[in-house]
Amino acid sequence: MIFSRDRILTTHVGSLPRNDKLSDLLLRQEAGETFDAKEMADELDKAVRHVVDKQTTAGIDIGNDGEQQRVGFQTYVPQRMSGFAGVSKRRRGQEFEEFPELVASLMRRFPHVSKQQNAPECQAELKYRDIKPLQDELARFKKIAGSHFAESFMTAPSPGIISSTMLDAYYGSQDKYLTAIAREMKHEYQEIHKAGLILQIDAPDLAMDRTMLYRDLSDADFIKAVERHVQAINDGIAGIPAERVRLHICYGNWEGPHIHDIPLEKILPALYQAKVGALSIEFSNPRHAHEYAALKKHPLPKHMLLLPGVIETTSNFVEHPEVVARRIEEAVAAVGERERVIASTDCGFGTFTNREWVIEPAVWLKLKALREGADIASMRIWGKKSAA
């Protein structure tokens, strides 16, 4: 994993907007409907090339395929793993039950979305049956990306977020279910590593599920659950060097009150148990922009990098580069070493197909502001203009 040696490097969390044609094909594939395989392949080539070019133009150092090849960041898993069927009755976030107006607003804004609350459930022994789709994803991205980026990454969901999205109706305990998922997802984690890409584990369960699956627990008991989820991640990535893995944590990528989110300070020690080389944490969300103080109380382990979210991902406001620079400077001050900070976004811009909060033109402007803000911060932190 590269460091910010002479300037602040830039990356993002992973998902980027998909075009309408690709979205339609991905939704048809998820629903088990027929679709033209060549048309899908051609559209995927076009979409990946588009987002690679856009990231490069914006000045992203560490890029990916924008998750163009998946219907959602975790809900694609049942397409590759046997044992899933039926429909999960996933509980909505606490604030969605408290504010039905929020649900109504979502339904008006996103009437045709991929499976989220209604994803399949686990009804039999899990078995990762088909690695080829992932191999195709990797091959397509590597061919198109070439040398566009200083480093490339590929995302994969954590065992915990799979378990809380595709609920268990077979194993009988969360512990057994997590063990089975980690065992099978290891195939995917290892394949990404073998391809030479940084593996990013997407784990909103480590924060967001405080208000969803684990809302009835005390904070202390939720932290115990986080520790178990982190152990499942560690089991899944065993054998992969920590410096080749980064871990993304967030509170749920939606525009809502977020008044029930657990403070970062409480979960940070549990996050440090992850055997990874970098933590990606949101700090631009207005509910969490103050939480750099948690890093002062619980200093980032010396072997870890911080990928602070300095761009917010649920509004069309384009951050001024000076705002981005100040956020980066605050992150550097909290970590104490400029080399261990890589500027990022709070979350993805296309977490689920057909549920993009930010219009596509604003996404590229936000990533451009990320680069410009990083350049301003670099000049101030290093005391001179750094070469791009």
Structure tokens at 113: 């979305």
Of the candidates 291, 264, 285, the one whose C-alpha atom is nearest the C-alpha of residue 345 is 285
Residue 341 φ/ψ region, left for φ over 0, alpha for ψ in the -120 to 50 degree band, beta for the rest:
beta
pLDDT at 300 over 50: yes
Specify the pTM. 0.93
Assign 80 a pLDDT band (cuts: 50, 70, 90).
very high
Distance CA 378, CA 386 (A): 7
Residue type present at position 386 = S
pLDDT digit string, tens, across residues 330-371? 999 999 999 999 999 999 997 777 778 899 999 999 999 999
Q: Which CATH number fits domain 9-382: 3.65.10.10, 3.50.50.60, 3.40.50.12780, 3.20.20.210?
A: 3.20.20.210
Mean pLDDT of 309-319: 97
Structure tokens at 33: 């409907």
Which of 72-76, 108-112, 256-260, 327-331 holds the top average pLDDT? 327-331
pLDDT digit string, tens, across residues 160-180? 999 999 999 999 999 999 999
Residue-level pLDDT at 139: 98
Assign 31 a pLDDT band (cuts: 50, 70, 90).
confident
Mean pLDDT of 269-281: 98
Average per-residue pLDDT for the chain: 94
Mean pLDDT of 10-19: 96
Mean pLDDT of 54-67: 98
Query: What residues are paired with 72 via a beta bridge?
Result: 352
Contact 268, 365 (CB under 8 A): no
Distance CA 127, CA 220 (A): 33
pLDDT digit string, tens, across residues 179-215? 999 999 999 999 999 999 999 999 999 999 999 999 9
Contact 254, 285 (CB under 8 A): no
- Give the pairing type, strands 151-157 and 62-63: parallel
pLDDT at 387 over 50: no
Q: What percent of the chain has pLDDT over 70?
A: 97
Three-class DSSP category at 22: helix
Residue-level pLDDT at 111: 66
Distance CA 342, CA 332 (A): 9
Of the candidates 299, 388, 373, the one whose C-alpha atom is nearest the C-alpha of residue 343 is 373
Residue type present at position 134 = L
pLDDT digit string, tens, across residues 239-255? 999 999 999 999 988 88
Residue-level pLDDT at 30: 84
Contact 230, 271 (CB under 8 A): yes
Residue-level pLDDT at 104: 84
Of the candidates 67, 119, 147, the one whose C-alpha atom is nearest the C-alpha of residue 363 is 67
Distance CA 21, CA 328 (A): 37
Distance CA 334, CA 86 (A): 46
Of the candidates 282, 263, 271, 254, the one whose C-alpha atom is nearest the C-alpha of residue 345 is 282
Residue-level pLDDT at 93: 80
Cite the DSSP H helix spans in the chain. Answer: 20-30, 37-58, 94-98, 100-109, 132-145, 159-165, 174-194, 219-236, 264-271, 293-297, 321-335, 360-382
